[in-house]
Structure formats: structure tokens, C-alpha cells
Amino acid sequence: MFKNNCLKFILLSLSFICLNVSAQKDIDTKVQKLLKKMTLEEKIGQMVQLNGFWDFTGPAPKDGDGAKWKYDALKSGKVGSVLNVRGVKNVRQLQEMVVNESRLGIPLIFGFDVIHGHKTVFPIPLAESASWDLDAMENAARIAAIEASAEGLNWTFAPMVDISRDARWGRVMEGAGEDPYLASEVAKARVKGFQGKDLSDDNTLAACAKHFVGYGFAESGKDYNAVDVGTSTLYNVLLPPFQACIDANVRTFMNAFNTLNGIPATGDDFLQRDILKGKWNFDGFVVSDWGSISEMQAHGFAKDLKDAGIIAANAGCDMDMESYAYVGHLKEAVEEGTVAEALIDDAAARILKVKFELGLFDDPYKYCDTKKEKELLYHPDHKKAALDMAKKSIVLLKNEGNLLPLDKKQKNIAIIGALADEDNSPLGNWRLGTDNNTAVSFLEGFKKYTDNYSYEKGVDIFLKAEDFLHEVEVNNTDKSGIDAAVALAKKSEVVIMVLGEHGYQSGEGRSRANLDLPGLQKKMLKEVYKVNKNIILVLMNGRPLTIDWEAENIPAILETWQLGTESGNAIAETLFGDNIPGGKLTMTFPRTEGQVPIYYNYLNTGRPGPIDLVFWSHYTDETNAPLYPFGYGLSYTDFAYDNMKVVNNGNNIQVSVNVKNTGNYDGSEVVQLYIRDKVASVSRPVKELKGFEKIFLKKGENKTVNFTLTEKELGFYNNRGDFVVEPGDFDVMVGTSSLEGLSDSFEWK
Ligand code: BGC
């Protein structure tokens, strides 16, 4: 019976692989056939992507985004893609124009930043990653794709898989944190979610691994800044999540704004040709970041826009997003021989291939169904999934004296903080697809449980300009709300302070040099603390904050990030114990900005200390330890680890541990496995995550969790970029965070 089933499975898999190979061959043949019919200008046209914030229904304005030349370019097949056009009516209209009026009728591919949900907004990706729940993250991306494709879109610029160790960088909100192993798993889940089972289905989006590569290592955390990394970090930390996307068959890549070791990533042939399209054999296409080809002039790498276009095309950047370098100069470059026509053919073929895979040639309007659009956007099932994801993303940082969960009959509660009344900020920064003010605010969620509360806004954290394009202005002077907040706290039994960053304070261009609670919030918190110490701090933020005073003094702290559409409901359920928090940080929280960059998988140095003398690797005015480490997060219940076993099978290592729920609630735990390769030809980190499992245990229940370590987990990339597995001694630790666990060791022969 078992044998029969095995045979069936193998035959089925083989026939699936054969079908796939033949479908791919079929597509390649079609692409080559089409390519032969195309003029040079039409091929270059496929490599051009234009922004679509223009009213193409009415008469074309004379300049700006609505310039007439754009219409002419679209109609004459000189544009392969647009971004920021969505809605079935708009997409259909533009697609019809291009398909009907251009000579070969090649459909456009419509791109958009579908980052964490679309209409229904999910938690910011950093928050989602704190769930360590890969199925939930895949499902979140799936739903985002269902909604976005119902609006006519077929390509998302996600997932962002940049690793970052620097919370000053505003885009940490868009990634999966600091660890390459976890980020790789998350990357695969998100790609699968967006692309679905078969890209040609009508509810899929081609995904895009971005930003290739190094963007999250911007020097001093300042967005767009130069990146300098050594080979070991490049191969072992930055590249793996991108390679994981390839494993998940991601169809597109986006290069990056930054220079990597002096070369702008957009013009780097080592990255795009040698690694991505060479070593990794990537057969999809690479799009530039917004204007990043043109920016190579400012980098001092290209002398003019034409030069920039030549460099980018030669380096392997297949599509130009909004630099106008390809549409303006590439034909001339080919004619004069500075770009080989074979490279144009290759780029156009890659783009056409993805369009074929999406099924756009079979039916350019397959994503244009108004009935579906009406039915699927904000679908109640999507909200349910967003609530589930939001609940899983919450991290309990502190809970002294079990202040949480709140008793549902608790009287006399004070709620303080402008963010408590926000139905916009919890949507985060990347929510271009949704409507403003569509999140359930903290207060709305809370009200569903009790009306035994009073609310004071306290200090304003923003004065104006709360939008995507402008910076949020922080109130650093108007203290007028503090008195009322203090007065309310004085007469209340419990105070819930809802503080943090506005959704628009993290994200692109939102680097911060100070990681404190912005504005006067901390001052207000300290004033309130003077009259009432029974405080639950609910944090809403897009990045780790330096909350050392809060961690020292405030008894309960709940990290709720920006949780999306269902934010208020998820938080209320958690405060009142209908959701037991189980999230774990995926980015280290520093005590002070001076510790940044800070991360758990650092190298030991030659002087790890501590020793009595000053000559070891440390600060004289601050400890080395983070405030909260990677992998950290509490629960309302407790988990005990014991009976760790390590069995060396020669070709793999089996590690098992028993985990018991010893507390008073059913709850989930993320069991984490870390290794340390003690001696290697390249120094290895003091700890590296190499496995995790999220388990759910009823109170009193226990479970044995098993891990298998193979060459894949035990090896690393040497400085030539080769993956090597070296014999020697390893430490292994299994536990509840990167800091705490049971440990053992083994020898790999
Ligand atoms: C961002 C990309 C984004 C693109 C298109 C750029 O500014 O860096 O991540 O996909 O804009 O909106």
C-alpha cells in the first residue's frame, strides 16, 4: 500500500514536472516567435515602465505626468508596463488603448506596491514577521493578491527582503527583520502567496524580490545612503533571502538605489549578470527602482542620462522605472554599438515571458472583471484573515505582576494618547491601495469590550501633513494636553497609554536619528507615571524604539506595531485575554541609538570580554546587551523546556526538546534553534538561527519538538561565494529567544 502510494506520488510529480517543462518550452517558443516580429524600438519599448498618475480618459495635458508623448509612446508600442494605474475601469481602458492601437498589440503589465494587503490592510511586514507563522504570512500575501488582481493589477513590487540591523532606517517596517534564515523563510512564503499555485490563474500577481542588494545596510541608517559590506556579510546575510525568492520561483527582481561597495546596484553587472542571471540562473526580469537609472548621474557613475541607460542595460537591468533613459536613448546606444542588440533581445524576452506566464496574451483583460472587483475588495473573509494575522503579530514585551490580561469587569480605566483615536495611522505607510481612515482604531476595538473607561488624547504627536509624500511634523512644544491626561490618570485604577509613531513616521525616506517615542509623548508618560504607576503601555510603531526608561519603569508593555485594518479589534482581544500574545521580535531593540547597528548574530571579536581592564569590545557608558533581543516575546502563559537530546546520525543531526505549557492559559510558543560553528575558515557568528517551530499548547500540555540539521544548515559561504561545509565542533541551543535556552554540542565529521 505504502509502496503503491509512493509510486503514485512520484509519477504524479514527474508528470507535473514534465507538463511544467513543456509549458515553459511552449512559452519560450512563443516569445522567440514574437521577438522576431518586433522592431528594435518595440523591443526597447517592452523595457520601459511609466508612472500612470495621469488622466488618460480626458484630453492629455501638455506636460507633467500627463504629457502627450506618453500617450503616443503607449499607442506605438514603446511602453511595456505602467505602475500606479489600478481599478478595473482604468486598467481596461489603458490596456484596450495599447492592445488595439499599437502595431503588435502586446499587453501591458500593471505594477503596484501591494506590500501588506491591498484594500484590506494587513500588519506591516515587520509585524507580520513577528508572528513567525509562515502559513499566515503566505495567506496574507495570497489575499493581497486576490484583492489587487481584482482591481486589474498583475504585478506587485514585493516582497522587500532587505535585511537590516539598523532601526534608524525607516524601511525596516517593510522587511522581515535582521535574520537571514527567518527572512528567507518569510520571503518564500510571501512569494508563494502573491504568485499562487499557477501564475496564469486570474487572481495572481507576479512578485518582485527587492531591493537587490544591500539597501537595508544604508550607512548611518539614512535612506538611500552608501552601503559598504564585506564579502562574508554579502554572501551569508544579504543574498540568502534573495536566493530563497529564486527557490520560490519569483518572477521579477528590483535593483536598488544604493551603491554597494562603490558601485550603484542598478549599474552593477556583478550583481545582476554574474550572480543573479549567471550563478542563480534567474529567468525572470529585473526592474530598476524608481528613477534609479537616472540617479547614477548623481552617484557620479554616469555622465548623463544616456550613459546611465547604457550602463544599466549592460549591467542587466531589464526595465527602466521612471528614468526615461531607455525610452530616450537606448535605440541610439544600440545603433552606435554601446549596447549589443542581443542584450535588448534578452531583456525584452524576459519581460514577454512573464507576460505570457501571467496569461496576458491569452486574455489581456483577464484581470478586468468589475463583478469580481465589487465582490472581493474588503471581503469579510479577508478582514477575518487580517484580524488573525494582526493578533499573531503582537509581541508582549513586559508583564510585571501579570497586569495583563485585563479583567473584563475592570472599572475605572484611563486611555491616553492621540494614537488611540487613530483610524489612519494603524494602516502603516505602504497602503497606497486602500482608503484612508479604514482601520479599526484602538478606541473602537476597546469599546466593544467595556464602557468603563475615559479617554484623553494628551499631547498631539502631529501637527499636519499626514500623507505619503510629506514628513510628519512632530509636536515638541505644545504641552497643553498633559494636564488633562495626568488628571484622568490620577482618578483611574489602570492607565492604558497608547503611544508610538504615526504610520507615516516609518517607511521610505523616514530615517530617524532618535529612536525615542516622538515628540512630547515620553514627557507625558513620565508625568502620568508620577501619579499612577499602574500603566499598560501599548506601543504602535514601525521599528524598534529605544524604550529603556519605559522597560525599567512601566509594568506592562505590549508591542502592537501598525496592525492594519483590524488593528483595534486585535489589540482589544489581546488586552482582555481573548488572544494570548505569542509574537517574537525579529529585530533587536537597542537601549540607545549608540548601540546601533545591533543584532544577535554578531561575530565574537578577539576581545569579547568581559574583563576587568578596559581593553575589550564594549562601551564605557552603556552595556553591550540589547534591551530586547531577537526572538524575544512573552506570553500570558509560561513554557518550560527540558529533555534536550542531540543525536548525531553521521549525515544529519537530530535535535529534540520537550516543551511544556506550565502556565494558566492555552498559548503558542516559537521554539527556536540556534547553532554556533566554533572554528571555521571564516569567523562565524556567536549564534545563528537554523530552525524554528511555532507550536500551540493547551495549559498543562507538552510536546516534543524535533529539528534536523543537515549540510544546508551547517554550511556557510566562504569569501569566494562558494558554499562550504567544514567538519568541526558546533554548539546548539534550543529555546524561547536568541538569549535563553538549553544547549549542547556535537561534532560534524
Ligand atoms: C521604492 C520601491 C517601490 C517603487 C515604486 C521606490 O521609491 O524604493 O520599493 O517599489 O518606489 O513605487
In this structure, is residue 2 part of a structural domain?
Answer: no
Residues 313 and 398 in one domain: no
Report which ligand 1 atom has the smallest distance to the Cα of 84: 12
Identify the pLDDT of residue 468: 76
pTM for this entry? 0.96
Ligand 1 centroid to 101 CA: how many Å? Answer: 30
Ligand 1 centroid to 439 CA: how many Å? Answer: 24
Residue owning grid cell 503514485: 8
Identify the pLDDT of residue 474: 85
DSSP 176-201: --S-HHHHHHHHHHHHHHHH-S-TTS
Identify the pLDDT of residue 703: 98
Identify the pLDDT of residue 15: 55
Residues 368 and 264 in one domain: yes
In this structure, is residue 3 part of a structural domain?
Answer: no
Does residue 215 line the site of ligand 1, with CB under 6 A? no
Residue owning grid cell 504627536: 461
Does residue 157 line the site of ligand 1, with CB under 6 A? yes
**Candidates 113, 289, 320, 677; catalytic one:** 289
Q: Measuring from atom 10 of ligand 1, which residue has the nearest CA?
A: 157
Compute the residue count for the chain.
749
Residues contacting residue 446 through CB under 8 Å, at least 6 positions apart:
415, 420, 453, 568, 571, 572, 575
Residues 519 and 452 in one domain: yes
Find the domain containing 278 and state its range. 46-51+79-374
Pairing of strands 667-677, 688-697: antiparallel
Report which ligand 1 atom has the smallest distance to the Cα of 158: 10
- Please state, in angstroms and rounded to a whole number, the distance separating the CA atoms of residues 379 and 535: 37
In this structure, is residue 27 part of a structural domain?
Answer: no
**Residue whose C-alpha is closest to residue 212's, from 172, 242, 182:** 242
Does residue 174 line the site of ligand 1, with CB under 6 A? no
Q: Measuring from atom 8 of ligand 1, which residue has the nearest CA?
A: 289
Q: What are phi and psi of 229, to 5 degrees?
A: -135, 150
Among 508, 510, 511, the mutation site with the greatest number of ligand 1 atoms within 8 A of its Cβ is 508
What are the strands, taking DSSP E only, across 421-500? 453-456, 494-500
What are the strands, taking DSSP E only, across 113-237? 155-156, 208-212
Residues 263 and 171 in one domain: yes
Q: Measuring from atom 12 of ligand 1, which residue has the nearest CA?
A: 113
217 DSSP 8-state letter: G
Does residue 322 line the site of ligand 1, with CB under 6 A? no
Q: pLDDT tens digits, residue range 601-646?
A: 999 999 999 999 999 999 999 999 999 999 999 999 999 999 999 9
Identify the pLDDT of residue 29: 98
Residues contacting residue 308 through CB under 8 Å, at least 6 positions apart:
267, 293, 294, 296, 297, 301, 302, 323, 325
Residues 356 and 397 in one domain: no
Q: pLDDT tens digits, residue range 167-206?
A: 999 999 999 999 999 999 999 999 999 999 999 999 999 9
Give just the sign of the alpha carbon dihedral 68, 72, 75, 78: negative
CA distances from 618 to 460, 594, 602, 608, 739 (A): 38, 12, 13, 8, 18
Residue 128 CA to chain centroid, in angstroms?
8
Number of domains in the chain: 3
Instruction: With a cut of 70, list the residues of the chain below it in pLDDT.
Output: 1-19, 54-66, 463-466
Q: Measuring from atom 6 of ligand 1, which residue has the nearest CA?
A: 290
Are the CB atoms for 252 and 206 separated by under 8 Å?
yes
Report which ligand 1 atom has the smallest distance to the Cα of 157: 10
User: Is residue 289 among the annotated active site residues?
Assistant: yes
Residues 122 and 246 in one domain: yes
Q: Measuring from atom 2 of ligand 1, which residue has the nearest CA?
A: 289
Q: pLDDT tens digits, residue range 318-335?
A: 999 999 999 999 999 999
Does residue 210 line the site of ligand 1, with CB under 6 A? yes
In this structure, is residue 577 part of a structural domain?
Answer: yes
Among 50, 112, 153, 157, the mutation site with the greatest number of ligand 1 atoms within 8 A of its Cβ is 157
Q: What is the largest CA-CA distance in the chain?
A: 80
Ligand 1 centroid to 266 CA: how many Å? Answer: 13
- Please state, in angstroms and rounded to a whole number, the distance separating the CA atoms of residues 738 and 749: 26
276 DSSP 8-state letter: I
Residues 342 and 393 in one domain: no
- Please state, in angstroms and rounded to a whole number, the distance separating the CA atoms of residues 742 and 707: 14
Residues 398 and 518 in one domain: yes
Ligand 1 centroid to 667 CA: how many Å? Answer: 38
- Please state, in angstroms and rounded to a whole number, the distance separating the CA atoms of residues 358 and 522: 50
Q: What is the CATH number of the domain that holds 711?
A: 2.60.40.10
